[in-house]
């Protein structure tokens, strides 16, 4: 072997040995939390250009820490309220400090009662995923302890299939290559550092999985009547029973496994509203009127949330009935703008302020 090639080979071997040693010492291959192939966003800073979703705001900054949590807290063992939900609580396109979870925390602070409110919502998750998160994710957060676990719940459960679990609820991708990537992300110190640096410099990015309403191109029109109440109730009964059982499981796990107290919050869509006693649906200009089925289906799931809450003595905030949103509060049919998020945070604060001390 030529001296130059030999030198390169020796140096390359030394570098690989150092990298391997660093990975073993500082990574999570042997020690540390075992996230395996769980697709929880961790050590993430992302920037999104949201000007197409709602005007008047700069790039949204989305940050999740090494535990996969969003929001500031002194210690995982000193959390007052841990929030779980799907994309409507995760709020990937609402900047740090402006989400409704942040607004809730700020409302308590402004009232002279600072509480640690932390966001553990995962985009796409339903109650199926929340159960798995308690079992698979939370045990990896050292000393995690919350006084209350709040579930902003209902919308994603409407779409839960009785035959299969979505990748969001399974908390892992069905694709082997993506599972390998998750495994690498969850264990490699160098890969995580690369992702942090990439996130810092990848500003003004937009991947519109959420759809813009573009209010100027829409109008409110009376919703058309779908199947009758009795027919709808019969059709939904198996799904509602399964949902109720999942809620009972969540309550049991929060009280038994987490030694915390659950809180339920019902949800509301942004593409329906009641005006002058009529149900209106938001549709594109010139499009046929929308049916009322999506509205009534979510209402049935919200009713189930209230019933299980009453049955198990879970404090429940009926946001779906009590909160009236305004124009500009949603950027699509379910996701809120910062103004809508502020309204949610303030409403939940009013419901909690005498309850949580």
* Residue ranges of the chain whose pLDDT lies below 70: 1-38, 162-216, 227-231
CA distance 60 to 96: 7
Where along the chain do its domains lie?
A: 32-352
Any residues with CB less than 8 A from the CB of 38 and at least 6 apart, and which?
136, 137, 171, 172, 182, 186
Burial class (CB in 10 A: 0-12, 13-18, 19+), 285: exposed
Given CA atoms 118, 121, 127, 131 in this order, what sign does their dihedral have?
negative
Residue 177 token pair: 């290559």
Which DSSP symbol is given to 158? G
**How many residues does this entry show for the chain?**
357
Can you give the pTM of this predicted structure?
Answer: 0.80
CATH topology of domain 32-352: Rossmann fold (3.40.50)
Contact 267, 153 (CB under 8 A): yes
Residue 289: the pLDDT is 85
* Ordered alpha helix ranges (H), 222-326: 229-256, 293-311, 319-322
Residue 231: the pLDDT is 67
């Amino acid at each position: 072997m030529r001296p130059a090639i030999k030198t390169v080979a020796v140096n390359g071997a030394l570098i690989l040995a150092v990298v391997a040693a660093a990975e073993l010492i500082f990574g999570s291959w042997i020690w540390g939390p075992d996230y395996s192939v769980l697709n929880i966003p961790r050590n993430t800073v992302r920037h999104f250009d949201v000007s197409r979703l709602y005007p008047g705001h700069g790039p949204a900054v989305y940050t999740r820490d090494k535990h996969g949590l969003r929001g500031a807290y002194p210690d995982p063992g000193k959390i007052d309220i841990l929030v779980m939900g799907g994309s409507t609580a995760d709020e990937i396109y609402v900047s740090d400090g402006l989400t409704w979870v942040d607004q809730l925390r700020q409302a308590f602070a402004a009232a002279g009662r600072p509480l640690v409110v932390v966001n553990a919502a995962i985009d796409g998750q339903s109650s199926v995923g929340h159960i798995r998160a308690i079992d698979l994710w939370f045990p990896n957060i050292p000393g995690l302890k919350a006084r209350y676990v709040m579930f902003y719940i209902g919308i994603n459960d409407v779409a839960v299939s009785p035959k299969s679990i979505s990748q969001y609820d399974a908390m892992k991708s069905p694709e082997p290559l993506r599972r390998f990537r998750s495994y690498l992300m969850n264990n490699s110190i160098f890969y995580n550092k690369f992702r942090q640096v990439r996130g810092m410099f990848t500003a003004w990015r937009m991947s519109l999985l959420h759809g813009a309403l573009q209010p100027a191109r829409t109008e409110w029109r009376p919703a058309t009547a779908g199947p009758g109440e009795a027919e709808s109730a019969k059709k939904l009964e198996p799904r509602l029973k399964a949902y109720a059982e999942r809620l009972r499981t969540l309550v049991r796990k929060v009280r038994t496994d987490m030694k915390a107290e659950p809180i339920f919050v019902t949800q509301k869509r942004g593409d329906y509203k009641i005006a002058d006693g009529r149900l209106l649906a938001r549709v594109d200009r010139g499009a046929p009127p929308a049916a009322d089925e999506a509205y009534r289906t979510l209402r049935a799931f919200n009713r189930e949330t209230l019933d299980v809450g009453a049955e198990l003595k879970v404090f429940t905030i009926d946001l779906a009935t009590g909160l009236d949103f305004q124009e500009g509060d949603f950027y699509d049919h379910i996701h809120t703008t910062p103004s809508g998020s502020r309204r949610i945070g303030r409403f939940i604060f009013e419901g909690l302020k005498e309850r949580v001390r």
